[in-house]
Structure 1
Amino acid sequence: MNDQFATAMRRALEHTRAGDPRAATTLLQRALSGRDTTEAPCCGPCSDAAAESPQGQGHRVPEDLGRGGGFDFSSLPGLGARSDAAPGSMPHRARSPRAPVPDGARVEARTYRGTAGGRSYRLFVPSDRARPKGVLVMLHGCTQTPEDFALGTRMDQLAERAGFVVAYPEQTGRHNAQSCWNWFRPEDQGRTHGEAAILAGLGQALSAEFDCPGRVFAAGLSAGGAMAAILGESHPEVFAAVGVHSGLPAGAARDMPSAFAAMRGDVHHGRPAAGPVIVFHGTADRTVAPGNADAIVTGSGIEQSESGNGRSWTRLVTQDGSELWRVAGAGHAWFGGDPAGSYADPTGPDASAEMLRFFMERGRA
């Protein structure tokens, strides 16, 4: 047994004990086939994230839990199958219901290709197509899909009323073992190449198609939120403002060790947002430390305490117009979401509605 395979076995065991057999399966399959087993930091929604949502709301336990997604763990020493439905299990993508489509609106499956690369994406177009009020690029979290993210955030229904076109780019296992946006890799943070450039190119293409210059925005959850923060810094001419939900600041990591450190709360290298940003973060988030939110939105301003829909929170509005929402006792999930989607907390402020309100106030003419 070589060192790489021994390391893969150890990591697979860690995933299994955490109730994440699918990640363990992927890791072992890559090791057995001789492929690279380097793992990306699983900046949620990930194995321990569902335990943080109220009563496990918004989390679906896969029926094949304990069977390792098709791999017999009992055949390997120390990787016996689990029989308990651990709250930290991965969501079951195949059975994810589809997000409802408002009357007159449409949803299209598309592919974008540009000089930096391409991605498939789900596109929501509101019923009033005369001239959309803006374009929003929504970046899902790890293990999620565009359809699941649309369902959990309820963004389509709100975008229909606001007159927004919404694109949900898809990050798959081909791009990252956990389908995470690679926010921690320098090659994906730049202006001309990598994932940041791909997403900026998509935003530009949709701006031209729907005649929305100066009214393109990006928002995301966790790893998607971290990538949204990067987009606000790397392509300010494309994105007029960004939304970061349970994410990290741009520059928080340059490799895996620094990524894990940042997720634990060491955000020494994170940079404050350079442009308008709205940030949501739960004070009980154990996947991405709440201090990351404070590293994104800095400066003084007016802070108000508010409550409703089963939660209380504070909202800081800084002098430059950015907003920081700290939600008391909340974990790693989209606030005010639909629990039919994964990692969506139905309580607290309506993050989707507040983001759209924030974006509509800050679009450039």
Structure 2
Amino acid sequence: MARRTSTSALTRAYQRGLKALTKATLTTTKRITGQVTRQVTRAAAEQRKPPPGAGEWIGGIAIGPGGARGYHLYRPPGLVLAAGEKLPLLLMLHGCGQTGRDFAASTRMNRIAARERFMVLYPEQDRLHHPQGCWNWYETRSGKADREAATLMAALDQVIALYPVDRARVAVAGLSAGAGMAALLATRYANRFAAVAMHSGVAPGAAQSTASALGAMAGRRAPAMPTTAVGKAIGAAALGTVLPPLLVLHGDADTVVASSNAASAAAVWAAATGARAGTERVVQRGQRHPMRVTDFKRAGRVHVTLGQIGGLGHAWSGGAARFAYTDAAGPDASKLVWAFVARAFKLDDAAQRN
């Protein structure tokens, strides 16, 4: 009898302990869940906020062969358009680990857009399509890269249909994975872009899969020089097309994407356009990192500009200091990109008039 009473007491004590443990676990879980929810909510709210500066930050979603992608369009403040006037547009593609808002804030491209009167489109990679938020520029063998490129073009076409964009004055620029995708867009849809800028990206045609992309990033793969108008090194879809002018910016201290990719990108683009390298010159403003600049020309026109920046790592040169993947000590890449793009727009306008 005493043994039965003892067993019953132990059972009740166990049940009380289990109840207390369950209650404590539920309380802790609820607290942690609440904290995570608040953090996620704050992060989501932060990404919805417009980047610093005046102007409109307009959200949208585009659907294409690669699925759905969100985007934001920056429209400068106080725009008063003349009858029939349309504005230039710069498509900006962020790097891995970034969002469109991050890219806008860190590059400060919107400040230039407000001053020079152009719009900026910031598509955003979905983490379901890439866990690190990278554009799939390298998956050409499987077709994934081309489907994603087509979806980005759907976003561009949607914006052109909804807003006063001049189709003849559209350019694309990107950082890292965004640079790879910018080059892919410019080869697959060459007639849609007046200029392209690659910052810290892998040379076009150097990778066709995840494995080859890693090798190319490390500098172990380089594209073969094209033997036809463009050649399979850049992509069969570009055969017979006229490639837009290319600006290549890359830091010589980049440990993520080997700096050798910069020279390879310039060389393959120059070979595809029949351009020849001029004399290298060194440009430096004040205490900023120096930059070695080489122009590749054909018939007096610059088809490629290569800017190799001393001491710059894997970062947007001259970007806002408080953001990741920027180096405020470098030459202002945003100004360099816009100057290159604006020059291409003017040359195209002159060619059309003649």
Instruction: State the Cα distance separating 1:201 from its structure 2 match.
Output: 2.5
CA distance in 2, matches of 1:240, 1:348: 26
Is 2:89–2:165's contact at 8 Å kept on the other side of the alignment?
Answer: no
- The 5-angstrom pairing of residues 1-365 of structure 1 reads 99-102=51-54, 105-114=55-64, 117-127=67-77, 128-130=79-81, 131-186=85-140, 187-190=143-146, 194-208=147-161, 209-269=163-223, 271=233, 274-298=243-267, 299-308=276-285, 309-320=287-298, 321=302, 322-363=304-345, 364-365=348-349
The normalised TM-score by structure 1 is 0.69
Instruction: State the Cα distance separating 1:292 from its structure 2 match.
Output: 0.7
One-letter code of the match for 1:139?
L
Distance change in 2, residues 1:122/1:330 (3 Å): same
Distance change in 2, residues 1:172/1:215 (3 Å): same
Distance change in 2, residues 1:129/1:290 (3 Å): farther
Is 1:93–1:144's contact at 8 Å kept on the other side of the alignment?
Answer: no
Query: Once superposed, what is the RMSD of the aligned Cα atoms?
Result: 2.3
The structure richer in helix per residue is 2
* 1:199-240 residue CA offsets vs partner (Å, 9 max, x unmatched): 123223333432412111111110001110111111011111
In structure 1, the partner of 2:271 is: none
Q: Which runs of 5+ in 2 are unaligned?
A: 1-34, 37-41, 225-232, 235-241, 268-275, 350-354
Instruction: State the Cα distance separating 1:93 from its structure 2 match.
Output: 6.1
One-letter code of the match for 2:263?
D
In structure 1, the partner of 2:31 is: none
Task: Tell me the secondary structure at the aligned position of residue 156 of structure 1.
Answer: helix
Distance change in 2, residues 1:332/1:93 (3 Å): farther
Task: Tell me the secondary structure at the aligned position of residue 297 of structure 1.
Answer: helix
CA distance in 1, matches of 2:43, 2:86: 31
Task: Tell me the secondary structure at the aligned position of residue 212 of structure 1.
Answer: strand
CA distance in 1, matches of 2:332, 2:151: 29
The normalised TM-score by structure 2 is 0.71
Is 1:307–1:348's contact at 8 Å kept on the other side of the alignment?
Answer: no
Instruction: State the Cα distance separating 1:340 from its structure 2 match.
Output: 2.5
Q: Percent identity between the aligned chains? A: 35
Is 1:132–1:163's contact at 8 Å kept on the other side of the alignment?
Answer: no
Is 1:135–1:217's contact at 8 Å kept on the other side of the alignment?
Answer: yes
What is the number of equivalent residue pairs in this alignment? 271
Instruction: State the Cα distance separating 1:348 from its structure 2 match.
Output: 1.8
Is 2:135–2:177's contact at 8 Å kept on the other side of the alignment?
Answer: yes
Distance change in 2, residues 1:237/1:201 (3 Å): farther
* 1:268-313 residue CA offsets vs partner (Å, 9 max, x unmatched): 3364694311111000101000111111112412421011242111
Distance change in 2, residues 1:119/1:129 (3 Å): farther
Query: Which structure's CA Rg is the greater one?
Result: 2
Task: Tell me the secondary structure at the aligned position of residue 120 of structure 1.
Answer: strand
Instruction: State the Cα distance separating 1:351 from its structure 2 match.
Output: 0.5
Which protein, 1 or 2, shows the higher relative CO under an 8 Å CA cutoff with sep ≥ 6? Answer: 1
Task: Tell me the secondary structure at the aligned position of residue 329 of structure 1.
Answer: coil
Distance change in 2, residues 1:171/1:206 (3 Å): same
Moved more, 295-304 or 283-292: 295-304
